[in-house]
Amino acid sequence: MILKTYKPILLTLFVFAGTWVMAQNDPMDDCTAFRLQLVRGFMKGKSADSIVLASTTNEKFLKFYRELEGDSKLSIDFNALMGIDSLKVAYKNLLRDQYLGKPFVEIKAKNLNGEKILAPQAGTITVLNTWFTRCKPCLEEMPALNQLLGRYEKDTSVKFISIARSSKEDVALLLNKHKFSYEIIADEKWKILSELCLRDYPANIIVDSAGIIRYFHLGIADIDEMEGVINQLKQ
């Protein structure tokens, strides 16, 4: 409840490319323990007190921060450290390692046109992107992702799927201004993303023909790197 009360202050100070990492009342309750354990391990031996206290002159926030204990304080310290590029990369790599080599979840959903999507499928490489309509880095990478899809447009062994953590209506409105050629699933209620324990955006994942995650990247896509992985999996 304390975090909820001060949420506007926290968001102003610590929002970066991604989402509030340990948000209270997160609908993905089953994933909270997984993420919290990961963050606890990452933060072991690290303190962000000086960074946090130097970042604001808001007396109400400083009083609130000094009174925090445990995971509530940990979440603020974590987000402060994510402002340091080297630590942000280190955490992304740590998260990536939790996914690589693991089986991908089974997707049974409908795209924006109401057509059924089943993935992954045997013999097919699945290229997955996750995003939401108000995510600026997500929108920035769309032209590059369209370019990547274009390289495999006639290749039926590679399937491109995008899962948006937004409503079907919001996605449709956004597509009027931003072209995105992936097959899109609107997952506003986190039904699929909760199974993946994914709430960092954008994320790009490549799943091999046996349904195993072989590539996981948080942040704006590197399509040349992704193309290299796809081509290697096709061999």
Tokens, residue 57: 């002159």
Q: Residue 170 belongs to a domain with what CATH number?
A: 3.40.30.10
**Residue given tokens 């991908």 in the structure block:** 104
Q: Does 153 lie in the same domain as 122?
A: yes
Tell me how many domains the chain contains: 2
How would you classify residue 106: left for phi > 0, otherwise alpha for psi between -120 and 50, otherwise beta? beta
How would you classify residue 208: left for phi > 0, otherwise alpha for psi between -120 and 50, otherwise beta? beta
pLDDT per residue rounded down to tens, the chain (235 residues): 444 444 444 443 443 333 333 334 444 466 778 888 888 999 988 888 887 777 777 888 888 888 888 888 888 898 888 888 899 899 999 999 999 999 999 999 999 999 999 999 999 999 999 999 999 999 999 999 999 999 999 999 999 999 999 999 999 999 999 999 999 999 888 788 888 888 789 999 999 999 999 999 999 999 999 999 999 999 9
Q: Does 93 lie in the same domain as 179?
A: no
Q: Does 131 lie in the same domain as 45?
A: no
Given a contact cutoff of 8 angstroms between Cβ atoms, the answer to whether 24 and 33 are in contact is: no
Domain end, chosen from 72, 99, 126, is at 99
Phi, psi at 172, each rounded to 5°: -60, -40
The pLDDT value given to residue 223: 98
Q: Does 153 lie in the same domain as 80?
A: no
Q: Where in the sequence is the domain holding 75, given as residue range(s)?
A: 2-99
The pLDDT value given to residue 72: 85
User: Residue 232 and residue 235: Cα distance in Å, rounded?
Assistant: 6
The pLDDT value given to residue 30: 66
Q: Of 125, 117, 126, nearest to 187 (Cα)?
A: 117
Give exposure, 191-210, as e/b (b: 16+ Cβ within 10 Å).
ebbbebbbbbbbbbbbbbbe
Q: Does 210 lie in the same domain as 176?
A: yes
The pLDDT value given to residue 1: 45
Cis peptide before 202 (omega within 30 of 0): yes
Q: Does 36 lie in the same domain as 12?
A: yes
- Its pTM stands at 0.80
Q: Does 74 lie in the same domain as 145?
A: no
Tens digit of pLDDT for each residue in 177-211?
999 999 999 988 878 888 888 878 999 999 999 99
